[in-house]
Amino acid sequence: MTALNTGMTTLTHNDWRAAGQDLFGSDLMSWRFACPACGDVANGHDFAAALSENPRTRLDGSVVQALDLLGSWCVGRAIGGTEPTRGCDRTAYGLFRGPVRVTLPDGRPPMFSFRFADTAQAAR
C-alpha cells in the first residue's frame, strides 16, 4: 500500500481487512487509526469509552457502537462538546473523504477510512 500525504489510497475491502489484521490482529477493537486532521490515534476501546460518556443513537433508535465509528470518525467527535479533551470533529466521509477509499464487493458504494495508525505516521 502506498501512503502519501497528498493523495487517496484505494484498497479492496479484503486488502484493507488483511492490512488491519497484519498490523493489529483479529480483534477489531484493537485496530488503531490516525485522524488526518489532528493526528489523534484511537482504537475501538477509545470509542467505547467515549460512547459510554456520550451515547448516540441512529434515526431508527438503535444504539451506535464503537465499531460503527472506528476508522471513520476522529475520537473527538465521539467525545463531543465544544472543546473535546482530545481529537477533533473530522470524519472520513462527507466533503473531505478518506484518505483511504475502500472498494466494497457486489457493486456497493465505497467506504472511506482514516489510515491505520502505523501507516499514517509513516506518511507524515
**Residue 4 in domain:** no
Query: What domain range includes position 34?
Result: 9-123
**Residue 14 in domain:** yes
Compare 81 and 119 and report the one with higher pLDDT: 81
pLDDT in tens, 22-70: 999 999 999 999 999 999 999 999 999 999 999 999 999 999 999 999 9
**Residue 1 in domain:** no
Alpha helices (runs of H) in 33-115, residue ranges in sequence order: 44-53, 66-69, 75-79
**Residue 115 in domain:** yes
CA–CA dist 45, 31 (Å, integer): 9
Task: Give the three cell numbers for residue 82.
Answer: 465544544
**pLDDT bucket at 96, cuts 50 / 70 / 90:** confident
Phi, psi of 94, rounded to the nearest 5 degrees? 95, -145
Number of domains in the chain: 1
